Amino acid sequence: MATTTATLTLTSADLLGDALSLSQTMSLYQHGTTATGLDEVTLSRHNIPTGTNFDLIPESAALSEDASYVYIINKATNAAHYIIISINSEPIGRLYAGDWLFMPWDCDLTAAANDSSLECEAVGGEQIVEYALFHNGETLATASDS
């Protein structure tokens, strides 16, 4: 097993009357275990052109029904550009230039209107998106020409 942690730090000196300072750290564990870490990671970087909603992280039987976590960042520098992140055609939100998200992902192939792929669409211009998918138990597909 591997040990992977994700730490969020939210700070602001002037959003509220008092300073905001929040920090939370979690470990990325497998489903049904008390402290067994996820063993697999996929790191990726893509140029996303405008005009098409793409599958950024396609659903897969190899990824289904275990704990998975996704980190996505929009590397754009133009403040007017953003990426729409959706799941099952339902927009979650917009990642503007420099924004990131971290969330659990349930690749559930039995879901209603079945498509749990994470989708992305660039608006305003081509943008670079990086992501990390932390998961477990993925079995690679047999090569079609083997």
User: For the window 87-116, what string marks contact with another protein as x by the rule CB under 8 A?
Assistant: xx-xxxxxxx-xxxxxxxxx-x--xx---x
Residue 93 token pair: 């939100």
Answer positive or negative: Cα dihedral of 115, 90, 38, 75.
Answer: positive
128 sits near another protein (criterion: CB under 8 A)? no
In the complex, what is the shortest distance from the CB of residue 95 to another protein, in angstroms, rounded to a whole number? 6
Helix, strand or coil, per DSSP, at residue 88: coil
Distance separating alpha carbons of residues 109 and 140, to the nearest angstrom: 17
Helix, strand or coil, per DSSP, at residue 61: helix
**Cβ contacts of residue 145 below 8 Å, gap of 6+?**
none
> Which residues between 21 and 80 bind another protein (CB under 8 A)?
22, 24, 26-27, 29-35, 37-41, 67-71, 73, 79-80
Positions in the binding site for another protein (CB under 8 A):
2-16, 20, 22, 24, 26-27, 29-35, 37-41, 67-71, 73, 79-80, 82, 84-85, 87-88, 90-96, 98-106, 108, 111-112, 116, 132, 134
